[in-house]
Chains A and B, each alone.
Chain A
């Protein structure tokens, strides 16, 4: 205590009066400071309470979809707590709800500059950028949101952000990017049957049948009678050319929920593809003979049905691999097939099936899609001709 006056005396060596004045002023300043600190506590306590009250009302109105009221309430909360992050975010969301995107964007950018790692802010900014067709910015904000920090339920929020990004990418037809996001989602979702089924649907949309089938299978592990998963798995297998698997899943789907025309058509096509494919392994000779005959007959029917349309004559000049017109070639081979018994000679099978595939190809290009049998033959040709 005695050191302070001594120090002051050293500064003002010749005036004890001045030292006394300074000590007195210091004491007065300390007393005033303490008094104002007390007032300050009361003031900020009140400001905090008001901010909380108005922010609470804003959050309730935002949840109820009363965006206009919510924006006023969040604005009022910000009067009392200028930098409150949640109120600013709430205000931005309520402005978005009112369609006042530019104003909301201003708030969000300001929030982003404070917390660039915040997941919610990045997601909102990504949505605005996507709405403005600013692809680069949208992707940047979406990725920030996925890898950002989320206050509540971070895993679910990140998955939701990734889902949103996936849908956005799908709208841009960026299939490769969608696939990679779906693979991440599939890994994130674990064994959740509903989510895996959903992921499977999205894999189908980007023609990634292998991953789609895997996702449906995970979903079916939880409920093997899930019709949508069965149909999805069947569709994926069908698209992959795995008709055995497709037939199995689609059969179960159709049995569980009859009347699904799409599933029934696919099931029929898959069954026909199995029945009419003579190149299948591990089938008996009679089954192979039957497959050749059925295919040949279907090709003949295709020729006849195509004759009904004006472009039929155009089919005539088309030739088989031997150089003959297709119709003539079919007629020439038809007696041999009809009486044929046991196509032990692989060349004979190939010759017959090459003609069948050529007819189907030509007929499809000139007369459009045919019966399920024709579709099945086209699918078989794709498998065996490497297309």
Chain B
């Protein structure tokens, strides 16, 4: 494989960020004039960008192929371990998950320790701690152990492992190509989006989830690659597995606005359920991990045995990912009482599966619990208020989003996931109301999101995407103050400028240049010009290459820090009229604002 490190490192040395690239592309160079020697570097940068986009497509293709194989493996495990029939024999129900649990424990402890967990946090760790590097062995381990676990009936899903497998593939490709550290960091989310998109068969949901939960910010520099990889993986997935969505959704419609109250109730109940589920996970997981080492071998087996007993007692629906039963709930094939029981038992089965350290995802169980809970709440509401017209499918669908918003705490993804799965925009309002209620309740009762809790339990300190999303960004206007320094025109002479400065009893004068641009002069500089016999010259002619970069009130405050070491007073100008001064900002203003903001 060829090395791309030279080109990557050169771009790294040029120091061009995504936003600067965008600015260059838009012709908005506001700072120093570009040096002619930069031209080949920019062209090299664009070539590398283009190659990176093509590489994203390949990542999507490979991730899509891997996820297809993963789905095949899960299905084969299910057929050969549990049997091909819907009604499972008692022996298989009890023995299969137990023995599979034992095998999984041995594999995880001795061969694939990194395969433990859902995969989302591991991908975030790769991004923030290991510079995007994930050993390929992790993907192999995740593939084998998750397929075995889900196929044997553990209450886990294939989405999060698919996300991690996608990230692993991307990382492996990047490593083989010896990409720069900066590029390697970008690869993990690109692969993650591809893996998740293929698993969900929903590219928009995957892109949003990766942005909302893995990257944490909308970054134009990576968005194109993430979208490309997600789409190419979905294309591959659909090539092999058909274009049908995860669920067959009957027509959904909202006939009367008063029905929104029913969805709000569902959101409240779902929010409480999410807190109970996440609370159980956060309390039980560390306790199970702190048990004696030998119990680590037994924990998945015991969990498997208990899940088998749940199946044997009459609820085999809680075993495995359970998509077929979600589909049945959507089509109103269970009574609300049974749906409520299934939701409760699924929580128990998922807690057992995940807490025991069995590799597998939490997305599918979350959707299962949401679908059952939603359909159950819908059934109760229909029994109490028969005039409600919404079908079980609507409640089940909204319920999925509710749990996703309350448990995973990805509110935007939860809404778009429902839209993408149902393909019906009528559901957006119920989804927004219910998901919003669930998210608010979950946030209020459990301030830290479950993935952040799991990360901290693992002894890692990864950035909390939820906190980042809600973080207040300080802007220039927050530190800006009214101009109290004199302003002169570029046509004014040096002598006049000095007079103005002395009259105002200030050390700095701002110069408004023609046709646009700003600069500043200190008293010492003006005196120096006079000493050089330039007293009669226009200050503008002396400041042609000394323009201050333009700042506007809405820009992030940290932009100011780039200039305050060179310019003691930085003008903040109006976007509509670049000659109009909105205010000024100094280094002291910025530091005071940051100090106030951090509560010192």
On whether the two chains bind one another, the answer is yes
Residues of A within 8 A of B (CB): 11-15, 17-18, 20-22, 24-25, 29, 32-33, 36-37, 39-40, 43, 46-47, 50, 54, 72, 75-76, 79-80, 82-83, 102-103, 106-107, 109-110
A-B contact pairs, 25 of them (CB 8 A): A12-B51, A13-B47, A14-B44, A15-B7, A15-B47, A18-B2, A18-B4, A18-B51, A22-B54, A24-B1, A29-B58, A33-B65, A36-B68, A39-B69, A40-B72, A43-B75, A46-B79, A72-B86, A72-B87, A76-B84, A79-B324, A83-B244, A102-B332, A103-B331, A109-B250
A158 to chain B, nearest CB (A): 29
Q: A17-B4, A39-B72 are in contact. Are A103 and B332 (CB under 8 A)?
A: yes
Structural contact, A29 and B50, CB atoms closer than 8 A? no
Beyond A25-B55, A43-B72, A76-B85, 6 additional contacts (C-beta under 8 Å) are A12-B50, A25-B173, A54-B84, A82-B248, A83-B244, A103-B333
Q: Give residues of chain B (1-60) contacting chain A, Cβ–Cβ below 8 Å.
A: 1-4, 7, 44, 47, 50-51, 54-55, 58
Contact residues in A for B150 (Cβ distance below 8 Å): none
Chain B residue at minimum C-beta to C-beta distance from A106 = B331
> Which one of B75, B86, B332 contacts A75 once the chains associate, using CB atoms below 8 Å?
B86
- For B65, what are the chain A residues with a Cβ–Cβ distance below 8 Å? 29, 32-33, 36
Residues of B within 8 A of A50 (CB): 79, 84
**Total A-B contacts with CB atoms under 8 angstroms apart:** 83
List B contacts of A21 (CB < 8 A). 1-2, 4, 177
CB distance from B329 to the nearest CB of A (A): 11
Looking at the assembled complex, report how far the CB atom of B65 sits from the nearest CB atom of chain A, in whole angstroms: 5
Task: Name the residue among B58, B65, B84 with the largest chain A CB count within 10 angstroms.
Answer: B84
B148 at the interface (CB under 8 A from A): no
B240 within 8 A of A: yes
Tell me if B's interface is mostly helix, strand, loop or mixed: helix
Q: CB-CB < 8 A to A110: which residues of B?
A: 248, 250, 331
- In Å, the complex CA distance between A54 and B87 comes to 12
B62 at the interface (CB under 8 A from A): yes
| Interchain residue pairs A-B with the least CB separation, the first 5 | A17-B2, A76-B86, A106-B331, A25-B58, A43-B72
Chain B residues within 8 Å of chain A by Cβ, number:
36
- Chain B positions 316-340 with a Cβ under 8 Å from a chain A Cβ: 324, 331-333
**Alpha-carbon separation in the docked complex, A36 to B75 (Å):** 15
Report B376-413 CB contacts with A as 1/0, cut-off 8 Å.
00000000000000000000000000000000000000
Closest Cβ of chain B: how far from A56's Cβ, in Å? 13
- The winner among B4, B50, B240 for most chain A CB atoms within 10 A is B240
Q: Are A32 and B87 in contact (CB under 8 A)?
A: no
Contact status of A40 and B85, CB under 8 A, knowing A18-B2, A83-B244: no
Asked if B250 and A106 make an inter-chain contact with CB atoms under 8 angstroms apart, the answer reads: yes
Nearest chain A residue, comparing its CB with the CB of B251: A113
Chain A residues near B44 (CB-CB < 8 A): 14
**Considering the chains assembled together, what is the distance between the CA atoms of A36 and B61 in angstroms?**
12
**C-alpha gap A102/B65 in the complex (Å):** 40
Pair A79/B86 contact, Cβ less than 8 Å: yes
Chain B residues near A20: list those with CB within 8 A. Answer: 2
- Chain A contacts of B72 at CB under 8 A? 39-40, 43
Kindly identify, within residues 507 to 527 of chain B, every residue whose CB is under 8 Å from any CB belonging to chain A.
Answer: none
Q: Shortest distance in angstroms between A44's beta carbon and chain B's nearest beta carbon?
A: 9
A54 to B84, CA, bound (A): 9
Q: A43-B75, A76-B86 are in contact. Are A11 and B1 (CB under 8 A)?
A: no
A interface majority secondary structure: helix
Is there contact, CB below 8 Å, between A82 and B244? Answer: yes
The CA-CA distance from A36 to B250 in the complex, in Å, is 32
B84 touches A36 (CB 8 A): no
- Distance in angstroms between the alpha carbons of A43 and B61 in the assembled complex: 20
Nearest CB in chain A: distance from B63 CB, A? 11
Report the separation of the CA atoms of residues A79 and B83 in the bound assembly, to the nearest whole angstrom.
12
Q: How distant is the Cα of A37 from the Cα of B64 in the complex, in angstroms? A: 12
Complex Cα distance A11/B54, Å? 11
Residues of B within 8 A of A47 (CB): 75
CB distance from B339 to the nearest CB of A (A): 14
CB of A40 within 8 A of CB of B84, answer no
B-chain residues with CB within 8 Å of residue A32 when the two chains form the complex: 62, 65
Residues in chain A near residue B76, CB distance under 8 A: 43
Residues on A with beta carbons closer than 8 Å to the beta carbon of B51: 12, 15, 18, 22
| A22 proximity list for chain B (CB < 8 A) | 51, 54
Of residues 215 through 238 on chain B, the ones whose CB sits less than 8 Å from some CB of chain A are 236
Q: Are B79 and A29 in contact (CB under 8 A)?
A: no
- Which A residues are CB-close (under 8 A) to B79? 46, 50
Q: A46: which B residues are within 8 A, CB to CB?
A: 79
CB closest residue in chain A, given B240: A40
The CA-CA distance from A83 to B4 in the complex, in Å, is 47
Q: Are B85 and A54 in contact (CB under 8 A)?
A: yes
Which B residue's beta carbon lies closest to that of A43?
Answer: B72
User: What is the CB-to-nearest-CB distance from B393 to chain A, in angstroms, rounded to a whole number?
Assistant: 9
Interchain CA distance A109-B393 in the complex, whole Å: 14
- Chain A contacts of B2 at CB under 8 A? 17-18, 20-21
**Nearest-Cβ distance from residue B174 to partner chain A, whole angstroms:** 12
**How far is it, in angstroms, between the C-alpha of A36 and the C-alpha of B66 when the chains are bound?**
9
| Minimal beta-carbon separation of B497 from chain A (angstroms) | 50
* CB of B70, distance to nearest CB on chain A (Å): 11
| Shortest CB distance B575–A (Å) | 38
Q: How far is the CA of A32 from the CA of B62 in the complex (A)?
A: 8
Q: With the chains together, A33 CA to B47 CA distance in Å?
A: 28
What residues on B are CB-neighbors of A72 within 8 Å?
85-87
- Chain A residues with Cβ below 8 Å from B236 are 33
Name which residue of chain B comes closest to A109, CB basis: B250
In the complex the two chains form, what is the Cα distance from A82 to B58 in whole Å?
A: 30
Contacts of A109 in B (CB 8 A): 250
The residues of A that contact B4 with a CB separation of less than 8 Å are: 17-18, 21
Within 8 A of A (CB), among B165-181: 173, 177
Q: How far is the CA of A109 from the CA of B85 in the complex (A)?
A: 26
B30 to chain A, nearest CB (A): 29
B84: which A residues are within 8 A, CB to CB? Answer: 50, 54, 76, 80
In the bound complex, CA of A21 to CA of B51 (Å)? 10
Is A106's CB under 8 angstroms from B333's CB?
yes
- In the bound complex, CA of A21 to CA of B50 (Å): 14
